[in-house]
Structure 1
Amino acid sequence: MQVLLLLIENSGNNVSKEQIINHVWKESVVNDEILSVAISKIRKALGDNARQPTFIKTIPNVGYCLISDVIPLAENTLTDEQPLNTVNQQTNTLKYVVIGGILLLITIISILSFYASNPESKTPNLANISSIAILPFEDLNKSQDNIYYAEGLSDAIISQLSQVKELKVISRDSSFNFRVNRDPSIIGDSLKVEALLDGSLQQTADQIRVNVRIISTFDGRLLWAKSFDNQDRHVFQLQDKISHAVRKAIQPSIAPQVTANTKVDGQAYEWFLMAQYFWRQRTPTSLLKAETYFKHSLELEPEYVDAQIGLAITYGQFHYYANWRARESVDKGLPYIEQALTLEPNHAMALAAKGMLLTLKASYSENPKPILTEAQTLFENSLALEDNATTRHWYSSLLNQMGKEALVIENMEHAIALNPLSASLKSVYSQYLAIRGKLDTAQKLYSRALILEPDRAAQVIESTHIFRNTPNSINAIAKWHVNNKSLFEYCSSDEYCEQVVFAYLSIGLDKEASNILARMVSKHEHFKHSLKLIDYGLNNDLMNAVSLLEQLSKAHANNYKYKQNLAIAQYRAGLYAQAKDSLLALNPDWQNAHTIDVTTDNYLALSLYGATLLKLNKQASAEQLLNNVAQFLHLDKVQDKAQAEMVLAQVYAQLSKPAKAKEHLSNALNLGWLETFDREWWTLKDNHLLKPIMNQTDVEELVATHQENVNKLAEQISLVF
Structure 2
Amino acid sequence: MENLWVDIYLRAILLVNRISTILIGWVLSRMLKEFYLGKWQVFPSEQSVSNGKERIKLEPKAMDLLIVLARAEGEVVSREFIFEQVWKNQIIADHVLYNLIANLRKVLEDDPHHPQIIITVPKKGYRLLAQAESPLQQGNITDEKTDKPSWLKSALVLSVLVLVGVLSWRFYQTDKITLDSADIKTKNQSAPSIAVLPFDVFHSQVDTQYFADGLVEEIIHQLTVIPDLAVTARTSSFAFRDQGLDIQALAHKLNVNYLLEGSVRKDQNILRITVQLIKVEDSTHLWSKVFNVEEQEIFTLQQDISLAVVQSLAPEYTLQSSGRLRKHPELGDAYMHFLRGSAMAAKATPEYIQKALIEFEQAVALQPDYALAHIAIGMNKMVLYQYRLLAPEVARSSTQKAIDIALGVDQFMPVAFAAQGLLHINFGEFEQAEKAFLTALELDPKLALAHHNYGYLLWIQDNHSKALNHFNIALAHNPMSAITNFAVADSLFVKGQLSAALKQFQHCVALLPDYPACHLGLANLYRFTMQADKTLEHMDFARQQLPEKNIYMITADAVDYFHRGEYDAAWQKQEQVALVKGGGYLEHQLKSLIYLHNDELNIWLQELEFLAQQWPENSSLKMALGLNYYFSNDCARSLMHYESVISDDAYLRGKFNVMAWGISHLANMAFCYCQQGSEKEQQMLALLEAQINQYDLENFDTPGADLVKAKLLLLTNEPDLAKVYLESHPLQTWQLNWLVDKDPAIGFLTD
Identify whether the pair has TM-score above 0.5, normalized to the shorter chain.
yes
1:210–1:510 CA distance, 2 compared to 1 (3 A): farther
Once structures 1 and 2 are overlaid, which stretch shifts more, 652-661 or 392-401?
652-661
Which whole-Å CA distance do the structure 2 matches of 1:162 and 1:155 have between them? 11
The answer on whether the counterparts of 1:137 and 1:151 sit within 8 Å (CA) in structure 2 is yes
Question: 1:411, 1:247 → 2: CA distance?
Answer: 27
1:376 to 435, 439, 445: 435
Q: Which residue identity lines up with residue 380 of structure 1 in the other structure?
A: T
SS of the aligned residue for 1:199 comes to: strand
Aligned mate of 2:211, from 149, 154, 167: 149
CA shift, 1:355, in A, is 2.7
Q: Secondary structure at the match of 2:330?
A: coil
2:387 maps to 1:387: no
Q: 8 Å contact 1:501–1:516 — kept in the other structure?
A: yes
What residue in structure 1 maps to residue 226 of structure 2?
164
Asked whether the 8 Å contact 2:197–2:237 carries over to 1, the reply is: yes
Cα displacement (A) at 1:338: 1.5
Give the distance between the partners of 1:684 and 1:277, measured in 2 at CA: 52
1:176 aligns with 2:226: no
The alpha-carbon distance between structure 1 residues 286 and 462, as it changes in their structure 2 partners (threshold 3 A), is farther
Q: Does the residue aligned with 2:583 lie in a helix, a strand or coil?
A: helix
CA contact (8 A) 1:137 1:154 kept: yes
Looking at structure 1, the residues matched to 655 and 363 of structure 2 have their Cα atoms a distance apart, in angstroms, of 53
Q: 1:411 aligns with which of 464, 470, 484?
A: 470
Residue number in structure 1 paired with 2:308: 245
Q: Report what 2:318 is aligned to.
A: 254
Are the counterparts in 2 of residues 322 and 494 from structure 1 also a CA contact under 8 Å? no
| Cα separation, 2, equivalents of 1:324 and 1:513 | 29
2:330 to 252, 257, 263: 263
**Kept after mapping to 1: 8 A contact 2:196/2:220:** yes
- The more displaced of 495-504 and 528-537 is 528-537
Structure-2 change in CA distance of 1:659 and 1:245 (3 Å) = closer
Q: CA RMSD in A?
A: 5.3
Contact 2:196 2:232 in 1 (8 A): yes
Report the alpha carbon displacement of residue 177 of structure 1 after superposing the two structures with TM. Answer: 2.7
Which residue is 1:228 aligned to? 291
The aligned runs of 1:424-463 (5 Å cut-off) are 424-432=483-491, 442-443=501-502, 445-463=504-522
The 8 Å contact of residues 187 and 217 in structure 1, kept in 2 or not, is answered as no
Determine helix, strand or coil for the equivalent of 1:230: strand
CA distance 1:512–1:468, shift in 2 (3 Å): closer
Q: What amino acid is the match of 1:133?
A: A
Is 2:423 the counterpart of 1:357?
A: yes
The DSSP-based 3-state class of the residue aligned with 2:210 is helix
Alignment partners' CA distance in 2, 1:471 and 1:454: 21
Rounded Cα–Cα distance in structure 1 between residues aligned with 2:257 and 2:525: 35
Partner Cα separation in structure 1 for residue 630 and residue 417 of structure 2: 47
Q: Return the alpha-carbon distance in structure 2 between the equivalents of residues 513 and 418 of structure 1.
A: 42
475, 479, 484: which one aligns with 1:420: 479
Matched residue of 2:277: which SS? strand
Residue of 294, 309, 316 corresponding to 2:360: 294
Task: Quickly say closer, same or farther: Cα 1:311–1:573, change in 2 above 3 A.
Answer: same
* Contact kept? 1:157, 1:243, Cα under 8 Å: yes
Post-superposition Cα deviations, 1:552-578, rounded to whole Å, max 9, x if no partner, equal 79979897x777756643442224577
What is the CA deviation profile of residues 582-617 of structure 1, one whole-angstrom value per residue up to 9, with x for unaligned ones?
A: 88999999xxxxxxx999899768977568757837
Matches within 5 A, 1:650-689: 655=719, 660=724, 664=728, 666-667=729-730, 674=735, 687-688=742-743
Task: Show the counterpart of 2:279.
Answer: 216
The answer to whether the 8 Å contact 1:567/1:583 transfers is yes
Query: Which residue of structure 1 lines up, in the alignment, with residue 399 of structure 2?
Result: 333
1:553 and 1:164 mapped to 2: Cα distance? 52
**Residue by residue, what CA displacement relative to the aligned partner does 1:108-128 show, whole Å, maximum 9, x if unpaired?**
xxxxxxxxxxxxxxxxxxxx9
Q: Which amino acid aligns with 1:526?
A: G
TM-superposed deviation, 1:421: 3.4
> Contact 2:496–2:694 (CA<8 Å) still a contact in 1?
no
Partner of 1:83: none
Q: 1:662 to 1:555 in 2, by over 3 A?
A: same
| Aligned residue in 2 for 1:500 | 557
User: Are the aligned partners of 1:393 and 1:415 in contact in 2 as well (CA < 8 Å)?
Assistant: yes
Deviation at 1:262, TM superposition (A): 2.5
Residue 262 of structure 2 contacts residue 276 of structure 2 at CA under 8 Å; is this kept in 1? yes
Equivalences for residues 599-610 of structure 1 within 5 A: none
Residue by residue over 1:159-179, the C-alpha shift from the partner in whole angstroms, topping out at 9 and shown as x without a partner, is 122233333222223222333
Is the Cα–Cα contact under 8 Å of residues 237 and 261 in structure 1 kept in the other structure? no
Paired residues of 1:412 and 1:429 also in contact (CA < 8 A): yes
**Residue type of the partner of 1:413?**
N
CA deviation string 1:270-309 (max 9, x = no partner)? 4433432343444545544443443454455444332221
Inter-partner Cα distance in structure 2 for 1:557 and 1:483? 38
**1:500-519 → structure 2 map (5 Å cutoff):** 500-504=557-561, 507=564, 508=566, 510=568, 514=572
Counterpart position of 2:343: 277
Tell me, yes or no, if the aligned pair for 1:157 and 1:242 is still in contact at 8 Å: yes
d(CA) in 1 for partners of 2:239 and 2:312?
Answer: 26
* Matched residue SS, 2:527: coil
- Three-state SS of the structure 1 residue aligned to 2:488 is helix
User: Which deviations, in whole Å up to 9, do the C-alpha atoms of 1:91-121 show, x marking residues without a partner?
Assistant: xxxxxxxxxxxxxxxxxxxxxxxxxxxxxxx
Q: Is the CA contact (8 Å cut-off) linking 2:236 and 2:480 kept in structure 1?
A: yes
Name structure 1 gaps, 5 residues minimum. 1-127, 590-596, 676-681, 697-721
User: Using a 3 Å threshold, how does the CA distance of structure 1 residues 288 and 522 change in structure 2: closer, same or farther?
Assistant: farther
Amino acid at match of 2:419: A
What residue identity is the alignment partner of 2:628? A
Say if 1:636 and 1:138 are closer, same or farther in 2 by CA, change over 3 A. Answer: same
Give, in angstroms, the shift of residue 425 of structure 1. 0.9
Cα separation, 2, equivalents of 1:642 and 1:300: 62
Q: Confirm or deny: 8 A CA contact 2:191 2:230 kept in the other structure.
A: no
For 1:141 and 1:568, the matched residues in 2 are separated by 66
Describe the superposition over 1:13-61 as per-residue Cα deviations: whole angstroms up to 9, x where unpaired: xxxxxxxxxxxxxxxxxxxxxxxxxxxxxxxxxxxxxxxxxxxxxxxxx
Contact 2:329 2:370 in 1 (8 A): no
Displacement of 1:314: 1.4
Change (3 A) 1:458 1:226: same
Aligned partner letter, 2:515: R
Q: What displacement does 1:342 show?
A: 2.0
Point out the more displaced range, 388-397 or 236-245. 236-245
Report deviation, 1:129: 5.7
TM-score (norm 2): 0.57
Cα distance change of structure 1 residues 564 and 529 upon mapping to structure 2, 3 Å threshold: closer
Q: Is the contact between residue 206 and residue 232 of structure 1 (CA under 8 Å) also seen in structure 2?
A: yes
Q: Tell me if the contact between 2:417 and 2:440 (Cα under 8 Å) persists in the aligned partners.
A: yes
**Structure 2 residue identity aligned to 1:173:** T
Q: Does 1:315 align with 2:381?
A: yes
| Matched residue SS, 1:227 | strand
SS in structure 1 at match of 2:342:
helix
- Structure 2's unaligned 5+ residue stretches are 1-189
Q: Which of these residues, 637, 641, 647, is aligned with residue 698 of structure 2?
A: 637
Q: Quick check: 1:351–1:378 contact (8 Å CA) kept in 2?
A: yes
Q: Is the 8 A contact 1:564 1:582 kept in 2?
A: yes
C-alpha spacing 1:392/1:181, structure 2 compared with 1 (3 Å): farther
Contact kept? 1:152, 1:273, Cα under 8 Å: yes
Contact 1:477–1:500 at 8 Å: present in 2 too? Answer: no
